[in-house]
Amino acid sequence: MRVDLRERLGRNVRALREAQGWSQEEYADRSGLHRTYVSAIERGRRNPTIDVVERLAAPFGVEPGSLLGDPGKQLD
Amino acid sequence: MRVDLRERLGRNVRALREAQGWSQEEYADRSGLHRTYVSAIERGRRNPTIDVVERLAAPFGVEPGSLLGDPGKQLD
């Protein structure tokens, strides 16, 4: 089953956030985004621009492109 | 010098397109985008959504996330 890119992004963000033990609220503060937006991103409901993908990646210190990678593969 | 993510995308798209020997026109047809939009993307002048990044990646058969990678590193 081909996982839609928006879902991939959502799964990657949720996995990284939970690995850090951050709530959506805390992660939203760290990324400068609103909690409800983070929630929608994690549910694959948003089609963000690359600038926003960069902000989503920043708190984790990972490459922005890796958030679009296959959640099955290891995130660098 | 930190290369802005939009510039990275542009450099990656241009490098892949030229490696295929495609004109911007041909690549625009293959990706279903307008040539002037492709030109602006390659000059780092656009902030596309991830859906568009997916369309930009499709003709090359590469992962969408790789278009946001460091142009210095090898594209998978």
> Is A67 part of a structural domain of the chain?
no
pLDDT single digits (tens) B26-54? 999 999 999 999 999 999 999 999 999 99
Mention every residue, 6+ apart, whose C-beta is less than 8 A from residue B14: B42
> Is B35 part of a structural domain of the chain?
yes
Residue with tokens 């958030």: A67
| Average pLDDT, integer, range A32-38 | 97
Residue type, B66: S
- Give the pLDDT score at A74: 52
> Is A15 part of a structural domain of the chain?
yes
Containing domain of residue B26, as a range? 5-60
Q: State the Cα–Cα distance between residues A30 and A9, nearest whole angstrom.
A: 18
Q: How far is B70 from chain A (nearest CA, A)?
A: 9
- Give the pLDDT score at A70: 84
Q: Does the CB of B56 have a partner CB in chain A at under 8 Å?
A: no
CA-CA-CA-CA dihedral for B9, B12, B18, B19, to nearest 10:
-150
Best of A68, A73, A74, A75 to disrupt the B interface by mutation (most B CBs within 10 Å)?
Answer: A68
> Is B51 part of a structural domain of the chain?
yes
> Is A72 part of a structural domain of the chain?
no
| Average pLDDT, integer, range A13-19 | 98
Q: A5: which chain B residues are within 8 Å (Cβ-Cβ)?
A: 50-51, 53-54, 64
> Is A49 part of a structural domain of the chain?
yes
Reported ipTM: the value is 0.90
- Give the pLDDT score at B28: 98
Are A50 and B53 within 8 A, CB to CB? yes
CA atoms in the 13 A half-sphere facing the CB of B11: 14
The pair of structure tokens assigned to B1 is 């010098």
Q: Choose between A72 and B12: higher pLDDT.
A: B12
Q: B16: which chain A residues are within 8 Å (Cβ-Cβ)?
A: none
B49: three-class secondary structure by DSSP: strand
> Is B75 part of a structural domain of the chain?
no
Which pLDDT band, with edges at 50, 70 and 90, does A68 fall under? very high
Of B63, B68, B70, the CB nearest to A50: B68
Q: The CATH number of the domain where A26 resides is what?
A: 1.10.260.40
Residue type, B36: T
- How many domains does chain A contain in total? 1
Residue with tokens 């708190």: A59
> Is B28 part of a structural domain of the chain?
yes
* Chain A / chain B CB contacts < 8 angstroms: 58
Nearest residue to A9 via CA among A76, A66, A72: A66
Q: At residue B57, does pLDDT exceed 60?
A: yes
Mention every residue, 6+ apart, whose C-beta is less than 8 A from residue B33: B52, B55, B56
